[in-house]
Amino acid sequence: MKIVIANDHAAVELKHEIKAYMESLGHEVINIGTDSNESCHYPEFGKKAALMVANHQVDLGVLICGTGVGISLAANKIKGIRCGVCSETTTARLIRQHNNANMIAFGARIVGSELAKDIVKTFLEAEFEGGGRHQQRIDMISAIENEA
Ligand code: RB5
């Protein structure tokens, strides 16, 4: 798969580790996050990565900041983006199976690198269960985007 990865200054080292890990799994990974430890603004990176996912330039996106929350909030402002924050693998699996999440976020200050790799692998390998109640609920989320 083609995957965008983005991060702020809190997650530079983990970003490089996760990028290399996803490449080792055979994915093409585009890094659009900061490579500097200088303080920066996570909304810029969340937005840029989310636009790449929403515009189908990539299949999925991985976002990392200190907690994973700020960068996910920014990404979720983009129409068509469903980004979940995960600190364990069960949620990482379920956000694909039930929510058809197209982005995942986690915190470099929250999860260690081995757990982060397991979270990413679980997310990438899980598949949307499709149709039925899950699709209906996703359609309801999309409808909210059009109402707002
Ligand atoms: C940056 O210090 C930190 O606030 C950011 O990485 C993130 O945790 C925000 O949600």
DSSP letters of the chain?
-EEEEEE-GGGHHHHHHHHHHHHHTT-EEEE-S--S-S---HHHHHHHHHHHHHTTSSSEEEEEESSSHHHHHHHTTSTT--EEE-SSHHHHHHHHHTT--SEEEEETTTS-HHHHHHHHHHHHH-----SHHHHHHHHHHHHHHHH-
- The CATH class of 2-147 is alpha beta
Counting residues of the chain whose pLDDT is more than 70, the rounded percentage is: 100
Nearest CA to ligand 1 atom 6: 66
pLDDT confidence of residue 131: 82
Q: Which residue ranges in the chain fall short of pLDDT 70?
A: none
Nearest CA to ligand 1 atom 10: 70
Pocket of ligand 1 (CB under 6 A): 8, 10, 42, 65-67, 69-70
Nearest atom in ligand 1 to 109's CA: 8
